[in-house]
Each structure stands twice: as structure tokens, then as C-alpha cells.
Structure 1
Amino acid sequence: MSLIFWTQAFLTALFAFFAYLILKRRSYLLISGFATRPMEEQEQLIENGYPQGVGRMFLFIAAGLLLLMPLGLTGFRYTFEVQMAFMMLMLFGGTIILSRREVPHKRKRARLTSVIMAVVVIGGIAVLLVTGARQPDVTFGGSAVEISGMYGEKIAYSDIRSAELLDTMPEIRYKENGFGFADYAKGRFSVEGHGSSLLFVDTKQSPILLIETADRPVFITGGNPEETESWHRKLDQRIR
């Protein structure tokens, strides 16, 4: 079983477990901020159905994550991404809806806080996705090639053992320290047959430039196949 599968299973079980504790065991103190409320507010929240709503939200998330898991068996490559998007949507959307069950004098502030958090987090994720999906800039200097952008690196020509074009990207086993979403991968990943590698790739592209260095393999793609091939020619001229 892959690391992603166990992550999916853990998140599903975690939300289901908290839903059970809240709905069946009435462990309302597990809800963030509930334990620090005055007793009068706690009683009013319970009467308004706030903690019960949180429990049902967790149960709905667990059920949704579980129902989405079989997508991975169909060959669909983005099951985990879809699950994370669903989880975020339910958490933020549910929190905004549940603000209506707050105590009257805190409803407006709770709703405003929830909306601001949703905008900041979702906006931050959107910026990260746009930045991560951007193709790297490659500069050929006098003594080294520099890959700029997220997880960029400067590689001396003397450290490069070979450079070749691959028709397809070898299987990416797991992420070590990097950004991976949909077809994009940047940072350090374990690659089948190459071990720990540095990636700047759009895996749906072909060809892919493989640079074997004294430190680790580097895989990179340009904005289009012609740019990748151009990088290979320039690099090949400098390391001969």
C-alpha cells in the first residue's frame, strides 16, 4: 500500500473517530474553543445544536473521503487532490454555516472570522498552486546552469556527469520535500530507478531532460518540448 493510501485511510478514520466522540459520547470539549467558554454559553451552544453540527460535519467529511477513495482504483490520478479539496470545502463551508448556531452576540464575529479564514487559506493555496505549476527559468552561465523558481538550484558544469532526453518520466514513488499537484512536481522526490532526485517537471510533457549530477539526478521540463530540447543542446555543448 502507498503512503497516499495510508494518509487517506488515516484522515477518514480520524474524522470518523471525532464524529463518534462528539455525536455518541458527547465529548463536546474536543471542539476547539468549547472548553474555554462560560458554562452558560456551552449550554446555549448545545441547545442551538452547534456541537452536534460539528459532529455531523466531521461525519460527512469522513463519509465523503471514504466514498472518493475507490476513484484511485479506476486509474484516476488525482483522487487525493480531489479528497483534499472536498475536505477543505466542507470544513470552511461548514464552519460558516455553523456560525448561525453561535450565541447571538458572537454570530456576526464568528461568521466574519470564518469567511476571512476561508479566503486567506484558499487564496494561499491558490497562489501556491499557481507558483508550483509555473515552469522554471533556466540560465546558462559561464560556469554553472541555474534553475530559478521554487526549489531552484545552481549546478556547476563540472558536477554534471551527463544530460539526456527521456521520452517519459520514470515513476515517482513518493515526495521527500517538495510540491506535487496534478501533473506538476517540484522539489525532492524518490524516483524509480534513480533514488532521491530533484524535479522541475510537468509529467505529461515529453521529452524530459535528465541531468545526472555528482549530488543527485535532476529532471526538468520547459514550457514546451522545443524549450526542453533547446536546454539539452545548450547543456550538452557546455559539458563536452
Structure 2
Amino acid sequence: MMGLISTQIIISVLFILLGWAIRYKKAYWLISGFASRDEHEKEQLIANGSPQRTGMLLLSAGIGMLVLLPLLFTSFTYAVEVQFGFMLLYLLGGLVYLSKYEIPSKRKRSYKINAILFIVVIGSLAALTLSSYQGYELIVKKERFEITGMYGDEWSIKDIKRLELMDEMPEVLARTNGVGLPTLSKGHFKVKDYGKSLLFIQKGSSPYIYIELEKRRIFINDNDSEQTIKWFKELQEEVGNNK
């Protein structure tokens, strides 16, 4: 949590400093591509108010992120999504808006580029978020078991070295390649005392199934505790049949 808070503060302060320098100290060279423009274009942009508004965009984005910072200290589940969603929507939407202050000969092209960038970035993130929130299931078959969805796979029952139903989830230390959301951890993480592990965890929904294979450690549960217990019993029975 402290790492997330620190990251947000650093990003917010960076935006504020950049915006302040551009808007009030006329450090227009900080804007990407501005320094390489010819002097006539620079004068037109300044006359149109383009760099000044770019500075205000960054400044207000940083202030907005700081205003939203207290959400991290509340019980609001989607605080992180709201904060970074605001940042992306505000900045990308701002770039599209600022295209109207581009010089006339490049205005149409600027609108197209920034609009495409907005659609691609927001669309990709929306698709990733939706796929991340998609459910998963543990399906026990004869001699094999499968976890469906993103990061899922199929493994042999005979490879299971340890099977345990835990009341509490061990501390997750770091994410190496996965999705870490306020209510969900899915993918590859480092877990205290267990090392590299594959997680399919609905946070705060006890119990948790721990499956130790020859080359893999897996933690999985469901929002419904009864479903988690059912998965465990099915897996436990199949393990017993394969001894």
C-alpha cells in the first residue's frame, strides 16, 4: 500500500511541477516536439495558447490526483481504478481538446492522432480490465485438473505433492506477471514462505486452496466459500484415487 501511495504522490508532484514550469515559467521546451518546431510555428502556438493550456492540463491533472489520494485510506474498493482512470481519461481527453489550439495546417492531423491514441489506449485498458475480472473455475477431471481463464492451465493429479485448505492467505510480497486489483489477484506473484506462486484469489474470501506441484505452487479460491470447499473435496478425492 505504501508503495502505491508513494508512486501516486511522485506522479502527482511531477505533473504539478511540469505544469507549473510550462504555464508560469514559460518552459515550453518541456513539451514534447515543441523545441523542434520552427520559430513561426512556435509563435503561432503561443499566440493560440497551446503550450499554456498544456501546462494547465498537467498542473490540474496532478492536483486532481492528489485530491483523489485520500480514497486509498477508505474502504472504497475501486480507489486505485478511479485514480488512474481519472489520470488517463483527463490527460488523453485533454490532448484531444488541445488539438483545437494547434496551428491550422496541422490541426486536423493532430485531432486524428490524439483521437486514435485516446481510443486505442482506453479501449485496450478497458478490454484488459474486463478480461482480468472474468471469472475462473477449478475443474477436476480423471487424473487431471484445470483452472480456466487468464493464466489458467491444466495439470496432472499425480504431480500434486501437497494439498491444503487454508483459513488465511499467506502474505503476498510482490507481483511478477499478473493482475493485482483491490478485490482480485490473478497471475504470477511472490508469496511469503512459498516463493513464486500462481494465484487465483478473491481477496477476503476465506478459505483458500493451496496446491503444490512438482514445478508449481497454486493458490485458488472462490467468492463463495462453499464453492471453494467443494473444489477442495473434489480435488482431494481425485488425489486419493490416484495414489
Structure 1 residue 133 corresponds to structure 2 residue 103: no
- The answer to whether structure 1 residue 74 and structure 2 residue 82 are counterparts is no
Q: Which moved more, 1:177-186 or 1:134-143?
A: 134-143
Cα RMSD of the aligned pairs, angstroms, is: 2.5
Residue 203 and residue 140 in structure 1: after superposition, are their counterparts in 2 closer, same or farther (change >3 A)? same
Provide, for residues 206-234 of structure 1, a one-character-per-residue CA deviation record: whole Å limited to 9, x for no partner: 44332233445312234754543332222
Tell me which residue corresponds to 1:156.
Answer: 156
More deviation, 8-17/132-141: 132-141
Other-structure match for 2:44:
44
Farther-moved stretch of structure 1 (230-239 vs 203-212): 203-212
- Deviation, structure 1 residue 186: 0.9
For residue 176 of structure 1, what is the aligned residue in structure 2? 176
Change in CA separation of 1:78 and 1:194 when aligned onto 2, cut-off 3 Å: farther
- TM-score, normalized by length of structure 1? 0.86
How many angstroms apart in 1 are the aligned matches of 2:54 and 2:46? 11
Amino acid at match of 1:146: E
Aligned: 1:96 with 2:96: yes
Letter aligned with residue 113 of structure 1: I
Q: Deviations over 1:96-123 (max 9, x none)?
A: 2111111112222222322222122111
Moved more, 202-211 or 42-51: 202-211
Inter-partner Cα distance in structure 2 for 1:231 and 1:149: 16
Residue of structure 1 in register with 2:202 after alignment: 202
**Distance apart, 1:193 and its partner CA:** 5.4
| TM-score, with length taken from structure 2 | 0.85
2:239 match? 239
Do the aligned residues in 1 keep the contact of 2:205 with 2:223 (CA within 8 Å)?
no
Distance in 1 (alpha carbons) for counterparts of 2:56 and 2:212: 52
In the alignment, the residues of structure 2 paired with residue 196 and residue 13 of structure 1 have an alpha-carbon distance, to the nearest angstrom, of 34
Contact 2:207–2:228 (CA<8 Å) still a contact in 1? yes
Task: Give every structure 1 segment of 4 or more consecutive aligned residues whose post-TM-superposition deviation is greater than 6 Å.
Answer: none
Q: How far apart are the structure 2 equivalents of 1:71 and 1:16? A: 20
Could you tell me which amino acid in structure 1 is paired with residue 14 of structure 2?
L
8 A contact 1:135–1:223 mirrored in 2: no
Check whether the contact 1:136–1:148 (CA below 8 A) recurs between aligned residues.
Answer: yes
Aligned to 2:56: 56
Gaps of 5+ in 2: none
Is the contact made by 1:135 and 1:200 (CA closer than 8 Å) also made in structure 2? Answer: no
- How far did 1:146 drift? 2.6
CA distance in 1, matches of 2:75, 2:191: 20
Partners of 1:36 and 1:151 lie apart in 2 by 45
**Deviation for aligned residue 1:59:** 0.7
Letter in 2 for 1:31: I
Instruction: Report if aligned partners of 1:208, 1:220 keep a CA contact under 8 Å in 2.
Output: yes
Describe the shift of the 1:215–1:7 C-alpha distance in structure 2 as closer, same or farther (beyond 3 A): farther
- Name whichever of 62-71 and 12-21 sits farther off: 12-21
Percent identity, please: 39
Specify the code of the residue in structure 2 equivalent to 1:26.
K
* Residue number in structure 2 paired with 1:147: 147
